[in-house]
Amino acid sequence: MYGFVWRHLPGNTAAKLVGMLLLLGLAALFLWYGVFPWLEPRVALDEVTVG
């Protein structure tokens, strides 16, 4: 999976490394601001009210 991405990134090793980090960073941002806020209310690990 990562090998596939690595082979398809353009440029030399340094450019590939930058591209890879950029992709990982984007994925992390998407998770942090998109997926996690959506997911958090669905895992009830901090329910505080009664009734």
Partner 1 sequence: MRVILRTIGELSITLGVVLLLFCAYLLWGTSAYTERHQRILQRQLVTEPATKILGKIQLGGAVALIKIPRLGPAYKYAIVEGVEDEHLRQGPGHYPGSAQPGEVGNFVVSGHRTTYAAPFNRIDELEKGDDILIDSREARYTYQVTATKIVEPTAVDVIEPVPGHPGKKADKAVITLSTCHPEYSARQRLIVFGTLTKTEERDVF
Contacting positions for partner 1 (CB under 8 A): 1-3, 28, 31-32, 36, 39-41, 44-51
Read off the tokens for 45: 């690990």
CA angle 21, 30, 35 (to 5 degrees): 140
Least Å distance between CB 21 and partner 1? 14
d(CA 41, CA 43): 6
Nearer to partner 1, 10 or 41 (CB): 41
Of 10 and 51, nearer to partner 1 (C-beta) is: 51
- Rounded to a whole number of angstroms, the minimum distance from the CB of residue 11 to partner 1 is 23
Dihedral of alpha carbons 19, 1, 6, 9, sign: negative
